[in-house]
Amino acid sequence: MDVNISKALYEAKKILKDKGMRPALESETLLSHLLGVDRVYLHMHAQEELDAFAFEHFMHMVKVRSKGKPLEYITHEVSFYGRLFFVDERVLIPRPETEILVHQASQIIQDYGIKNVVEVGIGSGVVSVSLAIAHPKISILATDISMEALEVASVNIATFNLQNRISLFQTSLMEGVDIQARTLVVSNPPYVALDYPLDPSVRYEPEIALYGGEQGDEIIKALIDEAAHKRVRYLACEMGATHRASLSEYLGLQKYQASFYSDYAGLDRGFVAIRQTN
C-alpha cells in the first residue's frame, strides 16, 4: 500500500527518536535525498504518495541510520564550505571545523601571493577543491597514503572540473614531493590519540585517517620535520585540542613562528606557521 510523505516521515521519526537521534532533521534529509528534492518540498507536498518501492527503500535507509551509520555515508553527501561533496567509507567525513583550516590557508595565499599549494592527506578532497575554487591562479599537488582516498578525491575533483589544477600523488606525507619556492603546505592529518574515547559512530570511518599515534601528535611532528627538511616556509595544519603546548615547542625547534587558532567551540584546533629564513 502506498504511503504519503507525511506518514513516511512520521514512521521514520519514531524509529530515530527511540535511538536518541535528530528525528525530524535526519528523516527529512534521508527522504529528500532519496527523492532528489529539498526539505521544503517535503512540507509543501506532505500528502504526495510514495510508491511501495520508494517507501521500502526509505525505511531501509532509516533503519541503517538507527544502527549508528553516519548520515553522510548513507547519502554519500557532505556539505562543506557551501558545496556538496561525495563521500563514502573510504574517507573521513569532513567536519565543520576544517572549514576554518581552509579560511586560514586562504589568508596565507592572499597575504603572501602563494601560487603553489601542497595538501598532505587530501582525503575526500574538500580542502583542495575549496582552495582551488577560491583562488583560481593556484596549482595544487595533493598527497595521500591511501589509494582509496585518492579515488574519492578524484571524484570530487572531476565534479568541479579541476583535473588540470589539482594533481594527486600516492605517498606518505611529502615523500618524493619536490617543493617549489613560496609553497604553502596545508594538512588535516590524523591526530586522535590511540586511547582517546571516540563516539561509536566514528567506528565507520577509516582508522588510518583518525589515529595520529600514542599521543595523537606524532604524525603532525613528522610533517613538521619533513616541511623543515624541504624548506617549506608556509604551513597550515589542523590538530587536536590538547596539542598546542607540544607543537608550539616543536615548531620553534624547527624555526617556525606559529600562531594558533580555535574551533567553533573555542578549543585549540590548528596553527599557521612561517619558517624563519635567517
Q: Tens-digit pLDDT profile for the chain (278 aa)?
A: 579 999 999 999 999 997 778 999 999 999 999 999 999 999 999 999 999 999 999 999 999 999 999 999 999 999 999 999 999 999 999 999 999 999 999 999 999 999 999 999 999 999 999 999 999 999 999 999 999 999 999 999 999 999 999 999 999 999 999 999 899 999 999 999 998 888 888 889 999 999 999 999 999 999 999 999 999 999 999 999 999 999 999 999 999 999 999 999 999 999 999 998 75
H helix count then E strand count, the chain: 10, 11
Are residues 58 and 171 both part of a single domain? no
Sign of the Cα pseudo-torsion (83, 130, 76, 157, in order): positive
Are residues 120 and 25 both part of a single domain? no
Q: How many domains are there within the chain?
A: 2
Boundary-marking domain end, from 19, 35, 67? 67
Are residues 55 and 124 both part of a single domain? no
Are residues 52 and 152 both part of a single domain? no
- Quick check: pTM over 0.85? yes
Are residues 96 and 28 both part of a single domain? no
Going from the C-alpha of 81 to that of each of 44, 96, 128, 133, the distances in angstroms are 28, 8, 11, 11
Are residues 119 and 214 both part of a single domain? yes
CB 50 within 8 A of CB 2: yes
Boundary-marking domain end, from 67, 100, 123? 67
Beta strands in the chain (DSSP E): 3-4, 49-50, 77-80, 83-86, 116-120, 139-144, 166-170, 183-187, 234-238, 256-262, 268-275
Going from the C-alpha of 254 to that of each of 104, 203, 262, 277, the distances in angstroms are 21, 35, 23, 11
Cell of 258: 606559529
Residue burial 205-244, b: 16+ Cβ < 10 Å; e: rest: bbeebbbbbebbbbbbbbbbebbbeeebbbbbbbbbeebb
Determine, yes or no, domain membership for 137.
Answer: yes
What are φ and ψ of residue 60, in 5° steps? -65, -45
- Domain containing 46 — which CATH number? 1.10.8
Residue 18 structural domain: 3-67
Are residues 108 and 59 both part of a single domain? no
